[in-house]
Structure 1
Amino acid sequence: MKRALFACCLLFSGAALAENPHVEGDAEAGASKAAVCAACHGPQGNSVNPQWPSLAGQHATYVYDQLKAFKSGDRQNAVMMGQVTSLSDQDMRDLAAYYAEQEAKPRTGAEEAVDIAQPLWRAGDGERGMPACSGCHGPAGVGNAGAGYPRLAGQQPEYTAMQLRAYRDGNRGKGVTGQMMQHVAQNLSDEEIEALASYAAGLQPAR
């Protein structure tokens, strides 16, 4: 079973690279449409509220897919579902293109998180059937645009921890990637979730 999950992760990643279409959005048009989004996601997509994610530098494919998920109801959040109601498909593409072009501000992870998070990030835990976080999100936390795996470097750690708990508790997890994250998160303790969220936030991708 564990080997099958590892294989599924690798196979799905390759399939997504081939099947995920390019997001054909207009970043300039997205800039004007993003004015209302700044109230929660911050100027140029750099959130100042730990409860809301930074979108700056996030892959356009991921942002677009999440906006569609909120609009369809596959992902539940009362505020976001209200915001996307009036968005057209092109609006969502334009917003995704805009945020992908913004520069993410770096964050600093907690030093005490390293000992707990780094082994899981780099190598996972074979005994618990957990693949390395870096396998999907990259050694530097920049994710994988083609496969739809999000950037976590520079993200609000509180928000990342909140999402990991949502996966663990079964409150998030639609689709194949969501099920994969549920499987990973269900084996994480609260301490590990907090450490991973802080560690990922502090990763410094090369410019």
Structure 2
Amino acid sequence: MKNRLEILATLTAIMIFLAAPAHGKRNWKPCSSPTCLRLKPSGWTYQNMPGKPDYLIWRNYPYQTAGGGGECWSLDHLGDSIAYVNGRPVDQGVCKTCHGRLYTGELGRAAPQAIPVHPQTYKKAHQTALGLPLVQLEINASPSQVYAWYLKQLPEHGWEVVDWTQVEGSYFLVASMDTRSKWMSFAPSSSGRCRQLVMNRRYN
């Protein structure tokens, strides 16, 4: 199992390196408009991240439902809880302050099962590696810190860490919930921070 993880990690890292955009890091701050970054009764509202696909957002949301309320990261981390029509999120128009597109995703069964998002994540990109969709995240922390955080947070979100290993400063794990299984790697990025890769795991 560990050998397969190492081989997959090596191939994935090569493909991500070749597919990575040439531009540098973009600074981003959330819009402060009350029409952005808030929950409507029907679900989450998303604002775009400049320079990235316009349904991506990193932000902590307070929310209220008939059964109570709380605070939760936007659950578009793996695209699990956004409402889609014809392959695109449900369009809610344009923010009058920042002019970003707004999208709504419904509160539903995917919410408590979402992969947690590290609070220091500042960048996200969708890739394809080995024929599978892949999420690449940039995190302002060391790989060891992020890895330790996920080992603690995944079980608290209902995920079981079923395998893990370390290879030359990089960390790998497999987490499962019911019939779902995710493969993750945590490695140093070119900036010395953490680059996290998340992929659905296939069973042969």
TM-score above 0.5, yes or no: no
Structure having the larger proportion of residues in strand? 2
Higher Rg of the two aligned structures? 2
